Amino acid sequence: MIAKIIAWGEDRPAAIGRLRRALADTAVLGLRTNLGFLARLAAEPDFAAGGVDTGFIERHRASLLPPRRPASDAALAAAALSRLIVREAAIRGAALGSGDPYSPWARGDGWRLGAAAEQDLVFRDDAEERTVKATAGQRGWLLRLGGREVWADARHEPDGSFAVMIDGVRRRVIVLDHGQETAVFSDGESWRLTEIDPLAARQDEDLAGGRLTAPMPGRVTRLLVEEGNAVRRGQPLMVIEAMKMEHTIVAPADGMVGRVQFKVGDMVEEGAELIRLAADGEKA
């Protein structure tokens, strides 16, 4: 047990009302809790009537322990808005500290010349991937949630909650961000979503398989290792020139060079396997 919530009132309905509000205002990130179960329990009419005994949970199993449901559109929108607002604030802060706070590069709305300013936010919702397409507009953000489009906006309240407006309907939620994880709490229910960075996901995939891929189309200008060489984590392996910039490919872990796929002067496509590493102790 990490906490205990105690509510009181002049009578049972008043105490239960305060208990439900307290549960709705509680959010915990990092540990799995029974907050949702307690909220459903406090909302059960038989509980309010005092009809509680040792068989109560079994009798109400369907309502107290329902199967997991995907995040609602409102929860998904809240998660996306929280990420967008935090990014905008970070970009504005960096711009104000720079020598050119009005630079067009100091924008967080995805603006581009002659095209819609659309951003994709991809979340993992249990085993499912959910994509939110966000476009900045005069009324806030136009969010595409699956086949549905909604106008949404949000702001952080002084009490730490998150006020979300979706098509003119105001909802009060709690949103907690930690790293790539976002937890959304609303009306006693909660959802945990993990934002997926496509580039980071691909990099993790490559590291797990010992593969090193080209981050963008370019030309190999330097090859710093040969097949069979032992390498250490962080050691430069290859240099690629792309868009007049040099990109150094480094070893993600200790190991041995198993295969070099390109030589100096070769052109490579984005995502092409450049070098395959064998883990330390494995045969190349």
pLDDT digits (tens, 9 = 90+) for 105-116: 666 666 655 555
The mean per-residue pLDDT over the stretch 254-262 comes to 90
**Average pLDDT of the chain, as a whole number:** 82
pLDDT digits (tens, 9 = 90+) for 37-71: 999 999 999 999 998 999 999 999 998 998 888 88
Q: For residue 174, is pLDDT > 80? A: yes
The mean per-residue pLDDT over the stretch 21-29 comes to 85
Q: 98 or 84, which is more confident?
A: 84
Q: For residue 205, is pLDDT > 60? A: no
Predicted pLDDT at 106: 61
pLDDT digits (tens, 9 = 90+) for 192-203: 888 886 554 444
Q: Go through the domains of the chain in sequence order and give each one's CATH number.
A: 12-64 (no CATH), 73-196 (3.30.700.30), 199-279 (2.40.50.100)
The mean per-residue pLDDT over the stretch 227-236 comes to 86
CB 112 within 8 A of CB 104: no
Question: pLDDT-derived band of residue 9, with 50, 70 and 90 as boundaries?
Answer: very high
Question: pLDDT-derived band of residue 284, with 50, 70 and 90 as boundaries?
Answer: very low
For the chain, give the longest Cα–Cα distance. 82
pLDDT digits (tens, 9 = 90+) for 104-157: 666 666 665 555 567 888 888 877 888 999 988 877 889 998 888 889 888 877
Cα(262)–Cα(60) distance, integer angstroms: 64
Q: Two tokens at 12?
A: 């049972």
Q: For residue 208, is pLDDT > 60? A: no
pTM of the model: 0.60
